[in-house]
């Protein structure tokens, strides 16, 4: 064994330390982390903080045909798949936002409270006639805005944040369903035993505008994630007549809504009683399209709801209706 003089041992130790430091700097200490949350501001400004604002439920009160709706634009972590969190931009802390139900002819006094500290947000109700540059305008961080309009048309409508770039706000979760019930109800002479709401939408790489524009969705989901409606089926009794209010929030994909094992004997496209169809196997829902679908479940068992675009079903756009003799 060759003996190394002590002075060379010191030099070698110093070189080893320097090499280790260089390795750390070029690998383990790489602070340019690729967390997509860092791309939050399209201007490229670094994100100040990660947020998880506790959900604030909507406040809805009614005086005659005047309805006062208070909602909150906020940033809240949601779970889009088991163990997959997403720092979502939301209405009221959930994705989709809460289902809003009003009646045809109601006047809506809508207040948006924006507690997102970084980003203006707005509300575009597809259910109303209103000048967008006056009534759908952005509410700045820490501010609130109140807007008034009338919901004259019955239907199942999308609402969403309309702040530019709209796709950024949609891809991050700012959408939901507003149901405007027809003045005289839906023209069915059969009793509806169960009513549920389904909102289809897509999730992409977190907060990544390029992915929203160009990528295939990671998940296509019903009611915000890819597991709840299969693990916790909707319930019905044998013989029940079921009405689903269905909306495809997109932002990019078209939906082919289908219930395995039954036919949708009555369908109101966009939820308008004038747009009635019968005997539908599948309902095509464009991005932002809605429908009321009604069907009978005659035998006990599990009935799967899917988007019959099966790449979407395989990414999560599926759910169950469990039919039992006693609904349990
Ligand atoms: Cu927004």
What is the pLDDT, as a whole number, of residue 188? 73
171 Cα–ligand 1 center, Å: 10
Average pLDDT over residues 177-189: 91
The reply to whether 26 falls in a domain is no
143 Cα–ligand 1 center, Å: 13
262 Cα–ligand 1 center, Å: 38
The Cα 105–Cα 326 span in angstroms is 38
pLDDT tens digits for 287-296? 999 999 999 9
- DSSP-derived pairing of the beta strands 290-296 and 175-181: unpaired
324 Cα–ligand 1 center, Å: 42
33 Cα–ligand 1 center, Å: 25
Verify that 151 and 239 share a domain, yes or no.
no
Verify that 201 and 306 share a domain, yes or no.
yes
198 Cα–ligand 1 center, Å: 22
pLDDT tens digits for 225-283? 999 999 999 999 999 999 999 999 999 999 999 999 999 999 999 999 999 999 999 99
Place of tokens 């961080």: 141
The domain total for the chain is 2
**What is the CATH number for 110?**
2.60.40.420
**For the whole model, what pTM was predicted?**
0.84
Domain that holds residue 167: 59-181
Pick the last residue of a domain from 181, 209, 225: 181
The reply to whether 21 falls in a domain is no
Verify that 136 and 205 share a domain, yes or no.
no
174 Cα–ligand 1 center, Å: 6
What is the pLDDT, as a whole number, of residue 50? 79
Show Cβ contacts of residue 310 under 8 Å, excluding neighbours closer than 6 positions. none
């Amino acid at each position: 064994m060759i003996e190394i003089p002590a002075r060379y041992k010191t030099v070698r130790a110093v070189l080893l330390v320097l090499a280790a430091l260089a390795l750390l700097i070029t690998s383990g200490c790489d602070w340019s982390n690729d967390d997509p949350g860092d791309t939050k501001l399209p201007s490229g400004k670094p994100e100040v903080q990660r947020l998880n604002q506790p959900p604030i439920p909507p406040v809805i009160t009614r005086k005659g045909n005047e309805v006062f709706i208070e909602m909150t634009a906020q940033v809240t972590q949601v779970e889009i798949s088991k163990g997959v969190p997403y720092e979502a931009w939301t209405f009221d802390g959930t994705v989709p936002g809460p289902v809003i139900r009003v009646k045809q002819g109601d006047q809506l006094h809508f207040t948006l409270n924006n507690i997102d500290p970084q980003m203006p947000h707005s509300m575009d109700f597809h259910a109303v006639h209103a000048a967008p540059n006056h009534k759908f305008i952005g509410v700045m961080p820490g501010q609130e805005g109140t807007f008034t309009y009338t919901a004259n048309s019955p239907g199942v409508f999308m609402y969403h944040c309309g702040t530019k770039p709209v796709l950024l706000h949609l891809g991050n979760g700012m959408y939901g369903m507003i149901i405007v019930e027809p003045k005289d109800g839906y023209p069915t002479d059969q009793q509806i035993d169960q009513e549920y709401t389904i909102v289809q939408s897509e999730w992409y790489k977190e907060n990544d505008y390029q992915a929203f524009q160009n990528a295939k969705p990671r998940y296509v989901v019903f009611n915000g994630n890819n597991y709840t409606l299969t693990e916790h089926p909707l319930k019905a009794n044998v013989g029940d007549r079921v009405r689903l209010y269905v909306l495809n929030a997109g932002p990019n994909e078209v939906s082919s809504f289908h219930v395995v094992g039954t036919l949708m004997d009555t369908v109101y496209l966009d939820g308008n009683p004038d747009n009635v169809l019968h005997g539908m196997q599948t309902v095509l829902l464009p991005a932002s399209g809605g429908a009321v679908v009604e069907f009978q479940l005659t035998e006990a068992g599990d009935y799967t709801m899917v988007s019959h675009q099966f790449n979407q079903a395989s990414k999560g756009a599926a759910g169950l209706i469990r039919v039992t003799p006693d609904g349990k």
